[in-house]
Amino acid sequence: MEQPVIALRGGVASLGGRPVLRGVDLAVRPGEVVALLGANGSGKSTAVRSIVGQVPLTGGELELFGTPQRRFRDWARVGYVPQRTTAAGGVPATVREVVSSGRLARTRFGMMRRADKEAVIRALELVGMADRLGDPVDALSGGQHQRVLIARALAGEPELLIMDEPMAGVDLASQEVLAEALRAQVARGATVLLVLHELGPLEPLIDRAVVLRDGCVVHDGPPPEAVGQHALPGHDHVHPHAGPAAEPIRTGLLT
Amino acid sequence: MDILDLAFMQRALLAALLVGVTAPAIGTYLVQRRQALMGDGLGHVALTGVGLGFLLNESPVWMATAVCIAGAVVMELIRWYGRTRGDIALAMLFYGGMAGGVMLMNLSDSGSSANLSSYLFGSIATVSEEDLVAICILAAFVILTTVGLRRQLFAICQDEEFARVTGLPVRMLNLLVAVTAAVTVTVAMRVVGLLLVSALMVIPVAASQQIARSFKATFALAVGIGVTVTVSGTATSYYADVPSGATIVLFAIGLFVVLTALATPLAKRRAGRTAAAEECTLEAPGERTAADDVRV
Ligand SMILES: Nc1ncnc2c1ncn2[C@@H]1O[C@H](COP(=O)(O)OP(=O)(O)O)[C@@H](O)[C@H]1O
Ligand SMILES: [Mg+2]
């Protein structure tokens, strides 16, 4: 079998003395598009942040591209879209300046050559924001800002894209644009791990869904058919110890 | 007599020019990552170095540089490890630094209160040949760092978590920002004084932000404002026989007020241009397109 791009086995992590991940298994194989679902506070962001090395794992094993994450240095292969925060820098910065920092890992000593500048424009075209190149980012709406953060991750032309709620606050038309952008990434061979609240226009792209609840994986398999209306099928067989069968699965798809 | 014919004024103006470039240059990054007052704390710490210089009969500028860099490293360590007690630790460092400096000055034979106040508030007329050499070397370091590593420093100051995932050596770069700020403090110490150093790192940037829309423009304009106020302030302090540091800082505040007043009409004009391009029309009922994203 092909080596997974992300291999997390029994991942354990705590934040502020509270266990947040309690033995999470997550494997993402090359070319796969995996959605990470679950209610607010179920540990999705923590799982993703531990994969990119921003939350230390206190237990379990984690490999990226076959290398133990501690020794992984090839970050140019990874594009990351953090969950959007309202915090902005204290100095104005333009869309182009912010997206350019996503290209940094591909440059030598931060020198932006022509190819790098073109990659930045291309990334902005992919998310439909190329006409806002010179605008300050704090003059953008929440959804537009989110698209800039996605462009920043795309600018490095990564092999692995990790996005934490990339669709939050993005209107339906822009979600379609982003779905198209993502399809193009998958077509050129990229692997994608997405934290989502609802599948929306991305649904046809998603190969597999992993559902977290209270820091445990409660479902790992095909994405749920209809958004929100039913409980997920087959979860009890995947993890018989996940809880009493009578308890409804809260995937967070309804919120 | 022209002030450019006076050797001490030549030195003073060159020192002022370098301060005008370096303080806003590092200041832009400090403001960006919301550490605007870091320079103030480092200024307090540097006084211990000045005191040590007097006590040991060494160059106060180089001693201040060494102590201030050590202080910057300690500050970064506190930021990494001591989040909960961080504020208290920083207070100890800053006020300990200032108190230590005053005490050491007092213990030394050559340190008078006139000397103390010339370091606290600046005294360009006393910039020696030796000081100027030190200032040039230190300023070169600051300019190389802030311009040469601008993309990396922009990335870590804009979004530290993203920068780490890009593979940038964020801790090293944070340390470099702190050390560069420390070096800038000692570059500016003779011209504006340790208590007013931070003003030159922050006010030109704040003034520049009123009209600039990009990071690059903010940086360049802040440096322009910095040079304008340090050079004109130094010349004024010579002609009017007033203290240089205070003159420079007051000039900077004056420019900030002027640019703030100009910013509002400028923003209105920009907004007016875009509004004129597209006029709004009320559509007939039921004319919603998918792009409106109105779901009922
Ligand atoms: N910095 C933090 N300190 C302490 N607890 C945290 C911190 N960040 C998140 N948590 C807690 O960890 C849990 C999981 O958070 P998170 O991974 O952000 O959830 P999700 O992304 O699924 O909404 C939540 O209960 C949250 O309160
Ligand atoms: Mg989250």
| pLDDT reported for residue B294 | 53
Alpha helices in B82-214 (DSSP H): 86-107, 113-121, 129-148, 150-158, 160-165, 170-192, 197-209
Separation of CA A42 and ligand 1 centre (Å): 8
- The residue whose two tokens read 């598009």 is A33
| pLDDT reported for residue A1 | 58
Residue predicted with more confidence, A101 or B269: A101
| pLDDT reported for residue B278 | 58
Residue A240 lies in a domain: no
pLDDT single digits (tens) B236-252: 999 998 889 999 999 99
CATH of the domain at A32: 3.40.50.300
| pLDDT reported for residue A245 | 38
| pLDDT reported for residue A235 | 38
In a mutational test of the B interface, the residue from A49, A91, A131 whose CB has the highest number of chain B CBs within 10 Å is A91
Q: Do A93 and B36 touch (CB under 8 A)?
A: no
Q: What percent of chain B has pLDDT above 90?
A: 62
The band of A51, judged by pLDDT with boundaries at 50, 70 and 90, is very high
- Look at residue A231 and tell me whether its pLDDT is greater than 60: no
| pLDDT reported for residue B280 | 63
Separation of CA A43 and ligand 1 centre (Å): 6
| pLDDT reported for residue B286 | 60
| pLDDT reported for residue B209 | 93
The band of A12, judged by pLDDT with boundaries at 50, 70 and 90, is very high
Q: Do B215 and A97 touch (CB under 8 A)?
A: yes
| pLDDT reported for residue A241 | 39
Q: Do B166 and A75 touch (CB under 8 A)?
A: yes
- Look at residue A98 and tell me whether its pLDDT is greater than 90: yes
* Cα B34 to Cα A237: distance, rounded to the nearest angstrom: 51
Ligand nearest to the CA of A212: 1
- Look at residue A239 and tell me whether its pLDDT is greater than 70: no
Interface of A with B (CB under 8 A): 49, 52-54, 73-76, 78, 80, 82, 89-94, 96-98, 100-102, 104-105, 107, 110, 112, 134-136, 152, 156, 171-173
In a mutational test of the A interface, the residue from B215, B218, B278 whose CB has the highest number of chain A CBs within 10 Å is B215
Number of domains forming the structure of chain A: 1
How far does A45 lie from chain B, in Å, by closest CA? 13
Contacts of A105 in chain B (CB under 8 A): 166-168
Q: Identify which of B31, B155, B290 has the shortest CB distance to residue A91.
A: B31
- Look at residue B187 and tell me whether its pLDDT is greater than 70: yes
Residue predicted with more confidence, B84 or B173: B173
Residue A243 lies in a domain: no
Distances (CA, A) of A246 to A39, A213, A253: 18, 16, 19
Going by C-beta distance under 8 Å and a sequence separation of 6 or more, which residues neighbour residue B290? Answer: A172, A173
Residue A43 lies in a domain: yes
The band of B291, judged by pLDDT with boundaries at 50, 70 and 90, is low
| pLDDT reported for residue A230 | 43
| pLDDT reported for residue B156 | 93
pLDDT single digits (tens) A150-204: 999 999 999 999 999 998 888 888 888 889 999 999 999 999 999 998 888 888 8
Residue A252 lies in a domain: no
Q: Which residue is closest in CA terms to ligand 1's atom 26?
A: A41
- Look at residue B276 and tell me whether its pLDDT is greater than 60: no
Is the Cβ atom of A251 under 6 angstroms away from ligand 1?
Answer: no
- Look at residue A205 and tell me whether its pLDDT is greater than 50: yes
Give the sign of the dihedral formed by CA B29, CA B34, CA B36, CA B37. negative
Contacts of B215 in chain A (CB under 8 A): 91-94, 97
- Residue A13: phi and psi, rounded to 5, are -150, 150
Average pLDDT, chain B: 88
| pLDDT reported for residue B122 | 86
Contacts of A136 in chain B (CB under 8 A): 213-214
Separation of CA A41 and ligand 2 centre (Å): 7
Q: CB pairs under 8 A, 24+ apart, for B35-38? A: B36/A90, B36/B198, B36/B201, B36/B202, B37/B198, B37/B202, B38/B75, B38/B178, B38/B181, B38/B198
Interface of B with A (CB under 8 A): 28, 31-34, 36, 149-152, 154-155, 157-159, 161-168, 205, 209, 212-216, 218, 290-291, 293, 295
Among the residue ranges A5-14, B118-127, B140-149, B174-183, the one predicted with the least confidence is B118-127
In eight-state DSSP terms, residue A104 is G
| pLDDT reported for residue A200 | 83
Q: Identify which of A54, A93, A94 has the shortest CB distance to residue B161.
A: A54
Residue predicted with more confidence, A105 or B229: B229
| pLDDT reported for residue A233 | 43
- pTM here is 0.87
- Look at residue A254 and tell me whether its pLDDT is greater than 50: no
| pLDDT reported for residue B123 | 83
- Look at residue A246 and tell me whether its pLDDT is greater than 50: no
Range of the domain at A72: 6-227
Among the residue ranges A79-83, A200-204, B28-32, the one predicted with the least confidence is A200-204
Pocket test for ligand 1, best of A12, A14, A15 (most atoms within 8 A of CB): A15
- The residue whose two tokens read 């300019």 is B143
Distances (CA, A) of B216 to A133, A165, A175, B164, B221: 14, 30, 31, 22, 9
The band of B284, judged by pLDDT with boundaries at 50, 70 and 90, is low
Alpha helices in B166-243 (DSSP H): 170-192, 197-209, 215-240
The size of the A-B interface in CB pairs under 8 A is: 97
Residue A241 lies in a domain: no
Contacts of B31 in chain A (CB under 8 A): 90-91
Homologous superfamily in CATH for domain B3-295: ABC transporter involved in vitamin B12 uptake, BtuC (1.10.3470.10)
| pLDDT reported for residue A237 | 35
Is the Cβ atom of A42 under 6 angstroms away from ligand 1?
Answer: yes
pLDDT single digits (tens) B131-178: 899 999 999 999 999 999 999 999 999 999 999 999 999 999 999 999
Q: What percent of chain B has pLDDT above 70?
A: 90
Is the Cβ atom of A46 under 6 angstroms away from ligand 1?
Answer: yes
Which pair of structure tokens corresponds to residue A1?
């079998």
Average pLDDT, chain A: 84
